[in-house]
Chain A
Amino acid sequence: MTVILNQSFTGISIGAVLLLIALGLTLTFGQMGVINMAHGEFIMAGAYTTYVLQKSISGAGLSLLVALPVAFLVAGAMGALLEWLLIRRLYTRPLDTLLVTWGVSLMLQQLARDVFGAPNVQTAAPDLLTGNISLGGGITFANSRLFILGLALLSVVALTLILKLTPLGRRIRAVVQNRDLAEVSGIATGQVDRITFFIGSGLAGVAGVALTLVGPIGPTMGTNYIVDAFLVVVVGGIGQLKGSVITAFALGVLQSVLEYSTTVSVAKVIVLVAIVAFLQWRPQGLYTLRTRSLA
Chain B
Amino acid sequence: MTTTTPPVTTPPVTTPPVPLLERLRVPGGFVLGAVLLLGVAPLALSDFRLSLLAKYLCYAIVAVGVSLAWGRGGLMVLGQGVFFGLGGYAMAMHLKLTDAAATGETLPDFMLLYGTGDALPWWWKPFANPAFALAMTVLLPMAVAAVLGFFVFQRRVKGAYFAILSQALAAALSIWLIGQQATTGGTNGLTDIQGFFGYSLDDPVNQRMVYFIIAVALLLLMALARQLFVSRYGELLIAVRDSEERVRFLGYNPANAKLVAYVVAAGMAGLAGALFVPAVGIISPALIGIVPSIGFVIGAAVGGRASLVGAVLGAIAVAWAQSTLSDEFPAAWTYLQGLLFVLAVGFLPGGLASLGVVLRRRRTRTLTRTGTPATGETA
Contacts and interface: CB of A to CB of B under 8 A. Distances in A.
Interface of A: 29, 33, 35, 86, 89-90, 92-96, 98-100, 102-107, 109-110, 113-114, 223, 227, 230-231, 234, 263-266, 268-269, 272, 275-277, 279-280, 283, 294-295
Interface in B162-189: 163-165, 167-169, 171-173, 175-180
B297 interface: yes
Given A95-B159, A264-B175, A227 B245 contact: no
A107 B180 contact: no
B290 interface: yes
Contacts of B379: 93
A110 B346 contact: no
Given A227-B164, A268-B175, A99 B341 contact: yes
Contact of A107 (B161, B294, B338, B347): B338
Contact of B294 (A102, A109, A268, A276): A102
Contact of B164 (A92, A230, A277, A295): A230
Instruction: From A33, A104, A114, A227, name the one whose CB has the most chain B CB atoms within 10 angstroms.
Output: A227
A219 B181 CA distance: 26
Given A264-B175, A268-B171, A295-B245, A102 B341 contact: yes
Given A96-B346, A265-B178, 5 more contacts: A33-B160, A106-B338, A268-B176, A276-B148, A283-B155
Majority secondary structure, A binding face:
helix
Contacts of B164: 35, 227, 230-231, 234
B160 A280 contact: no
Contacts of A275: 165, 168
A99 to B, nearest CB: 4
B335 interface: yes
Contacts of A90: 346
16 contacts: A35-B163, A92-B376, A95-B160, A99-B297, A103-B342, A103-B345, A104-B342, A105-B338, A110-B334, A230-B168, A264-B175, A265-B175, A265-B177, A265-B178, A279-B152, A295-B245
Majority secondary structure, B binding face:
helix
Interface in B254-296: 290-291, 294
Contacts of B78: 98
A120 to B, nearest CB: 18
Given A100-B341, A265-B175, A279-B155, A227 B168 contact: yes
Contact of B161 (A96, A279, A280): A279
A95 B338 contact: no
Nearest to B291: A223
B95 interface: no
Instruction: From B78, B161, B178, B331, name the one whose CB has the most chain A CB atoms within 10 angstroms.
Output: B161
B328 interface: no
A263 B163 contact: no
A29 B160 CA distance: 9
A96 B349 contact: yes
B32 to A, nearest CB: 30
B242 to A, nearest CB: 13
B331 A89 contact: no
A272 B160 contact: no
A173 to B, nearest CB: 20
A99 B294 CA distance: 8
Interface in B32-79: 76, 78
Contacts of B76: 95, 98
Contact of A227 (B167, B301, B347): B167
Contacts of A99: 294, 297-298, 301, 341, 345
A96 B346 CA distance: 7
A98 B163 contact: yes
Given A103-B339, A113-B331, A263 B157 contact: no
A79 B340 CA distance: 20
A226 to B, nearest CB: 9
Nearest to A92: B376
Contacts of B176: 265-266, 268-269
A234 B167 CA distance: 13
Nearest to A235: B161
Contacts of B155: 279-280, 283
Nearest to A105: B338
B217 to A, nearest CB: 27
B377 interface: yes
B104 to A, nearest CB: 33
B341 A272 contact: no
Contacts of B335: 106-107, 110
Nearest to B340: A103
